[in-house]
Chains A and B, each alone.
Chain A
């Protein structure tokens, strides 16, 4: 009997609403009638990739694109491992961290299992779990950070993975080494602990943990990192996982090979460990953050400015409205209802002139709304 294709979709998938990414810049600029669009929505590095990565991309030979890339990013893994004093067998590369999240959930979870994570964090942990028919247990944040006690309280026999984003996207909070170690000891090997360090290179705090140093004591620890943020290679989609050798072997069972293209492998290899680039970026982000947070507070807006190259601002009206008004002025921000922060926007930190332009645009919008009596929030929104 013929069946309509929709009848072949599992019931739990049918209840999921597809995520629709934003349109390309040229379409947005046409639709909104603007000549300039500053992307402040995806936490991209305004400095772009490090110079060596730019050179590596420029040197790519078009004819070489006919050849498959290394199926497991062999050279890149060796390069990273050598720099981190690890074995290449302790690394898996993936087409962005999103793909690695899929590898890990596929490797450890089966129907009936669950993962535990925070409720206001990178949504892909929860999404991939749900796509896979795995329950995502979401614990509320405490002071905008992961609450270790709450996470521990919801571990049961079917908990396979605990996801911690450190520092957290979008709140910028982080667990210190002491908190992370205490958490790992409390978990005591009952489940895998994934520490997503997508933004770790932005953190310059003495108590921020280098999770790699904890691997030897905690074989249930997995660490995610990415080239999309600090290394400015978001367009090439490449990230990696670090873990204990045996653990990584298990994750390899479900990885997709040949998923990272040659350009990404070459650029990542050239970019990795460029400390000058990291310092330049940190310098820019630090100055930008201090300026933007100060200006947002001057405008009377609540601010969440933690670690990472982004800042959240509470606004006294709907975030979609803020998006529309700002994009008309040439600034694209991230609406935060999708991160469970209604009436908030997340702003990627960029060069000071861009931030100053954004502040002018916001100030005009707020003043216009204030004059029309719309500036109505009386309560602090970012509790």
Chain B
């Protein structure tokens, strides 16, 4: 699906029929299930109803292979943003206005909230396409003498996906990301780049590919080698090809977290920090595999804000990656723009993988309570891994470091972003019975 259509209007209850008709038309045109249409309608209605009448609103759809997203862009006049915190709990006697927003943002698979340069909010409500067709177990890999490097096609990526799907399942990992239909759809939509190794008999013997994770970063998958022979050589060829194939694409780098650990060509990559809790699904299972970064664009330098509580990690990361940075120590400074405002987190909840991701949307005086409330909520939801992504180009994000470190979060990655701000990832394993692990 590669559709994008936009509706412009002014917030008003009288505009709701037009909004509903718009969403009905789009979802019908895309043959999307009725429940997706209804979820989108709810989201749009609640946003519009929460705004001061007359505020300009832009509503748009964008389709990616594995999800459809409703975007609503507006100035947040009249809107209680704290309702978007997943941990927000209204007092129904006095504070019910945000309830609809809260419900809408929780009912979808992914919700994100960002501000643009002019202070407008961009709310995104995404619903994942479900790939649930049965995946036949592939036959044992046949012997071969030669292989060649090929581009993925919708056919060969399905063969590759079937092997990866069952390897992931066999390793006790969620196999959904490698469902053959998902990979084929991502490829067809131009969201998967990479290389496969094909033997002289046409079997897919190995794979390495990248899938965009956000606007700047490519997620690296592989190399995976399905045979027991030629593993190192093939892994190196696959990695070299894939890095070349994405080298001219407009991404800052590739972050490799899923790969066959026994033959991963680490010499081409840069350690991106401590080990990630995300595990490989490789030939030799490694529950805590290192994450590796390969920069795709030259890093011209930029500001990096840090707090003393993570100084060692940050200094080591920028030294290892040789990042030209001007370091700004914000320890002891009050950087929240307005301590009276409530803080707002943008949260992504992936129940399938029992993982949550937090990004700071707005700093505020209640950040510690808000953080605790989110962690408690995640535990209640049986989330086992929580990651927080901080943009160290922003002082307010860096100020969050001690709050997180005090809650047993540990830094694991520093992904270079140059002048646009480096991304620091902290994570914590959550235990249902209380306290971060």
Contact = CB atoms under 8 A, between A and B. Distances in A.
A321 B321 CA distance: 10
Contact of A383 (B150, B200, B236, B271): B236
Contacts of B241: 119, 138, 340
B268 A342 contact: yes
Q: Is the interface of B mostly helix, strand, loop or mixed?
A: mixed
A379 B320 contact: no
A119 B149 contact: yes
A369 interface: yes
Contacts of A383: 232-233, 236
A184 to B, nearest CB: 20
Contacts of B200: 153-154
B146 A154 contact: yes
Nearest to B244: A340
A20 B148 contact: no
Nearest to B323: A321
Contacts of A340: 237, 240-241, 243-244
Interface in A43-95: none
Interface in A338-383: 338-343, 369, 372-374, 376-379, 381, 383
Interface in B95-154: 145-150
Nearest to B253: A318
Interface stretch (A11-19, A98-106, A171-179, A213-221): A11-19
B368 interface: no
A190 interface: no
Given A318-B294, A379-B267, A383-B236, A154 B148 contact: yes
B204 to A, nearest CB: 15
A23 B249 CA distance: 18
A337 B146 contact: no
A381 B248 contact: no
A153 B148 CA distance: 10
Contact of B267 (A119, A324, A374, A381): A381
A377 B247 contact: no
B247 A338 contact: yes
B267 A343 contact: yes
B60 interface: no
B270 interface: yes
Nearest to B249: A17
A300 to B, nearest CB: 14
A342 B294 contact: yes
Contacts of A318: 270, 294-295
Given A140-B149, A140-B233, A340-B240, A15 B190 contact: yes
A169 B236 CA distance: 19
Interface in B211-269: 232-234, 236-237, 239-241, 243-244, 247-249, 266-268
A61 B236 CA distance: 54
B322 A369 contact: yes
Nearest to A318: B295
Contacts of B244: 337-340, 342
Given A20-B248, A318-B294, A341-B240, A138 B320 contact: no
A119 B237 contact: yes
A282 interface: no
Contacts of B268: 342-343, 381
Contacts of B243: 337, 340, 342
> What is the interface residue range for chain A against chain B?
35 or more
Interface in B262-311: 266-268, 270-271, 294-295, 297-299
A19 B248 contact: yes
B138 to A, nearest CB: 23
Interface in B296-339: 297-299, 319-320, 322
A320 interface: yes
B295 A320 contact: yes
Contacts of B149: 119, 138-140
Contacts of A158: none
B320 to A, nearest CB: 6
A332 to B, nearest CB: 13
B210 to A, nearest CB: 13
A150 interface: yes
Nearest to B201: A153
A244 B343 CA distance: 77
A373 B319 contact: yes
A138 B320 CA distance: 34
A157 to B, nearest CB: 15
A342 B295 contact: no
A317 interface: yes
A323 B295 CA distance: 13
A245 interface: no
A154 B200 CA distance: 6
B294 A140 contact: no
A381 B232 CA distance: 12
A273 B319 CA distance: 53
Contacts of B271: 376
Given A153-B146, A324-B298, A379-B267, A372 B249 contact: no
A207 B294 CA distance: 41
A320 B150 CA distance: 26
Contacts of B190: 14-15
Given A340-B240, A377-B267, A379-B267, A150 B146 contact: yes
A35 interface: no
Interface in A231-250: none
B248 A17 contact: yes
B322 A374 contact: yes
A374 B241 CA distance: 25
A137 interface: yes
Contacts of A369: 322
A19 B248 CA distance: 7
Given A17-B248, A140-B148, A374-B320, A342 B240 contact: yes
Nearest to B239: A342
Interface string A288-319: 00000000000000000000000000000110
A376 B234 CA distance: 23
Nearest to A378: B267
A154 B144 CA distance: 13
B148 A138 contact: yes
Nearest to A324: B298
B255 to A, nearest CB: 14
Given A19-B248, A140-B233, A337-B244, 19 more contacts: A18-B248, A119-B148, A119-B149, A119-B237, A140-B147, A140-B148, A150-B146, A153-B145, A318-B294, A320-B295, A320-B298, A321-B295, A321-B299, A339-B244, A342-B239, A342-B240, A342-B268, A373-B319, A381-B267
21 contacts: A139-B148, A139-B149, A149-B146, A150-B146, A150-B148, A153-B145, A320-B297, A321-B295, A321-B322, A337-B247, A340-B243, A341-B240, A342-B239, A342-B243, A342-B294, A343-B267, A343-B268, A374-B320, A376-B320, A378-B267, A379-B266
Interface of B: 145-150, 190, 200, 232-234, 236-237, 239-241, 243-244, 247-249, 266-268, 270-271, 294-295, 297-299, 319-320, 322
